[in-house]
């Protein structure tokens, strides 16, 4: 079998009752690599680490981060590029972009880093963008990995601007927050783009694993510039599209033409499943089988020198007289939807809280807790419950609770559980 991407659909309901009203269906779209993509040559990696070395990093945090950076050097191959930028009140290039060949020298430079001073992130980001653009790669993956434990003051918008500039040139950003002091709004805004994400590291001991996992994931990328287009039948409507696996992320969809939506999904590793949930409004239809959506995935396989590969999938529903239709909802679809709903509820809770509507915020958090309890995350459900009560009483939530909720509902508290293929089928 030629290497490519396999698509699989699961509908909340495949048989609908005939009626006069529009109905909602949920489509779970799951994708994974097929056809020995592991035999494709690995794409070169161009990685820049940006490390916060403000005084609050002193001690175990910095020790673990340095250890983790040294392990990354070990993971890199001779075709991979590596650079390292540190920042406190100012920023310095510790290792200029170079091939990861003289590993002992690279590690010696990493060992020299010490902690002092404040946190001025934009300087660090600016230098990182400069370093990561130095190597000339005809193909490969360029990424900035940022790690911080504090708030940067006054240069937030510059941080976002630099992140966007990189993203527009195909340079993704992984932003890792450690401890409870960092600004999750900023990291989430900086990473609101494909090939980027923010993640919460609760303890220093997790740093090594999170870094190693990220490099492993980047090395496993086989498909690039993956794009999804969704065409609906007349009268049907795509109400939302969100990523649900391996973690939850809202996706920007653009209605390119009448009844045709498009979304950029970034680069994909071959290690797990990419899952997406679509909410589709189906218009009233007569008895019979009807196509509702046409999904087209377009991507490049640079390792095989193949561009613009496509895979198509037609989503059909069957309409039957109401008395013949048993109302049944697919459990897998419901599971991923339930996680997504918990994520949406907490997001709406923060909005309500910002407007001073603490009762509504509390209700949303509480309901998110119920949803997480149902999907089997009792610890997060309890955090949601505690913060729901706290916000009702005090009008605030704890820094840690908010981070646990924001990143926990997305599945982005690190190390992130590996989301392997066998769990789907």
Partner 1 sequence: MIVCPNCSARQLDGTIFCIECGADLINAGPPESTRELNVSAIESHDPLPVSGPLPAGEPQSAPMVTLVVVSSRRRIEVDLSDEALIGRADPTRGIIPDIDLGPFGGYDAGVSRRHAILSYRDGTYRVEDLGSANGTFVNGRQIEPMRATPLQHGDEIMCGTLLLRLEIRNRQR
Residues near partner 1 (CB under 8 A): 12-13, 16, 19, 21-26, 281-282, 327, 329, 333-334, 337-338, 341-342, 344-345, 359, 362-364, 366-371, 373-374, 381, 385-386, 388-389, 392
**Least distance in Å: CB of 393 to partner 1?**
8
CA–CA dist 392, 360 (Å, integer): 9
CA 2 to chain CA centroid, nearest Å? 28
Q: Tokens at residue 164, please?
A: 């966007």
**Least distance in Å: CB of 370 to partner 1?**
5
CA–CA dist 99, 34 (Å, integer): 31
Nearer to partner 1, 115 or 282 (CB): 282
CA–CA dist 43, 270 (Å, integer): 12
**Least distance in Å: CB of 376 to partner 1?**
13
Q: How far apart are the first and last CA of the chain?
A: 20
Nearer to partner 1, 125 or 381 (CB): 381
Nearer to partner 1, 370 or 424 (CB): 370
Nearer to partner 1, 86 or 388 (CB): 388
CA–CA dist 41, 371 (Å, integer): 42
Nearer to partner 1, 170 or 250 (CB): 250
Nearer to partner 1, 171 or 368 (CB): 368
Residue identified by tokens 């196509």 is: 291
CA–CA dist 284, 292 (Å, integer): 12
From the list 192, 189, 263, the residue with the least C-alpha distance to 225 is 263
Nearer to partner 1, 100 or 361 (CB): 361
Do the beta carbons of residue 9 and residue 38 sit within 8 Å?
no
Please report, for residues 161, 208, 384, 387, the alpha-carbon distance to residue 396 in angstroms, rounded to integers and kept in the order given.
Answer: 30, 33, 13, 8
CA–CA dist 170, 368 (Å, integer): 35
Residues 6+ apart with CB under 8 A from 319: 15, 16, 17, 18, 285, 286, 287, 288, 289, 290
- Indicate the burial class of 226 (C-beta count within 10 angstroms; 0-12, 13-18, 19 or more): buried
**Least distance in Å: CB of 30 to partner 1?**
18
**Least distance in Å: CB of 399 to partner 1?**
19
**Least distance in Å: CB of 119 to partner 1?**
35
**Least distance in Å: CB of 62 to partner 1?**
37
CA 338 to chain CA centroid, nearest Å? 18
**Least distance in Å: CB of 331 to partner 1?**
11
Nearer to partner 1, 19 or 41 (CB): 19
**Least distance in Å: CB of 374 to partner 1?**
8
Do the beta carbons of residue 201 and residue 178 sit within 8 Å?
yes
Q: Which runs of E-coded beta strand occur in 302-410? A: 306-320
Nearer to partner 1, 169 or 328 (CB): 328
Please report, for residues 65, 81, 405, the alpha-carbon distance to residue 111 in angstroms, rounded to integers and kept in the order given.
Answer: 10, 19, 34
Nearer to partner 1, 16 or 95 (CB): 16
- Indicate the burial class of 384 (C-beta count within 10 angstroms; 0-12, 13-18, 19 or more): buried
**Least distance in Å: CB of 216 to partner 1?**
34
Determine if residue 254 is left, alpha or beta; phi over 0 gives left, psi from -120 to 50 gives alpha, anything else beta. beta
Residue identified by tokens 């419901």 is: 334
**Least distance in Å: CB of 27 to partner 1?**
12
Nearer to partner 1, 26 or 182 (CB): 26
């Amino acid at each position: 079998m030629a290497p490519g991407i396999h698509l699989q659909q699961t509908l909340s309901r495949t048989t609908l009752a005939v009626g006069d009203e529009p109905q909602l269906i949920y489509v779970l779209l799951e994708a994974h690599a097929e056809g020995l993509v592991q035999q494709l040559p690995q794409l070169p990696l161009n990685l820049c680490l940006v490390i916060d070395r403000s005084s609050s990093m002193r001690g175990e945090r910095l020790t673990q981060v340095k250890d983790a950076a040294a392990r990354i050097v070990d993971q890199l191959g001779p075709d991979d590029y590596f650079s390292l930028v540190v920042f406190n009140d100012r920023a310095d290039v510790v290792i200029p972009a170079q091939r990861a060949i003289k590993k002992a020298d690279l590690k010696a430079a990493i060992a020299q880093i010490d902690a002092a001073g404040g946190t001025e992130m934009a300087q660090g980001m600016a230098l990182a963008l400069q370093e990561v653009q130095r190597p000339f790669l005809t193909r490969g993956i360029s990424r900035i990995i940022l790690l911080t434990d504090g708030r940067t003051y006054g240069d937030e918008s510059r941080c976002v601007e630099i992140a966007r500039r990189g993203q527009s040139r195909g340079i993704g950003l992984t932003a890792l927050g450690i401890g409870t002091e960092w600004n999750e709004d900023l990291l989430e805004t900086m990473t609101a783009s494909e090939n980027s994400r923010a993640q919460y590291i609760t303890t220093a001991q997790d740093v090594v694993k999170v870094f190693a996992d990220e490099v492993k994931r980047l090395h496993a990328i086989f498909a690039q510039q993956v794009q999804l287009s969704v065409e609906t039948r007349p009268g049907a409507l795509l109400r939302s599209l969100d990523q649900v696996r391996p973690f939850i992320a809202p996706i920007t969809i653009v209605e390119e033409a009448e009844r045709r939506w498009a979304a950029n999904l970034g680069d994909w590793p071959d290690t797990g499943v990419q899952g997406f949930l679509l909410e589709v409004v189906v218009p009233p239809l007569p008895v019979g089988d009807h196509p509702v959506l046409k999904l087209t995935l377009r991507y490049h396989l640079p390792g095989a020198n193949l561009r613009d590969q496509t895979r198509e999938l037609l989503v059909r529903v069957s309409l039957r007289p109401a008395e013949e239709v048993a109302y049944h909802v697919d459990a897998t679809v419901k599971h991923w939807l339930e996680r997504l709903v918990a994520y949406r509820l907490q997001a709406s809770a923060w909005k309500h809280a910002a407007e001073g509507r603490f009762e509504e915020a509390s209700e949303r958090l509480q309901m998110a807790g119920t949803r997480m309890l149902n999907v089997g995350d009792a610890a997060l459900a309890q955090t949601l419950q505690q913060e729901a009560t706290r916000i009702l009483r005090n009008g605030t939530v704890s820094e840690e609770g908010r981070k646990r909720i924001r990143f926990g509902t997305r599945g982005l508290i690190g190390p992130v559980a590996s989301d392997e293929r066998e769990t789907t089928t």
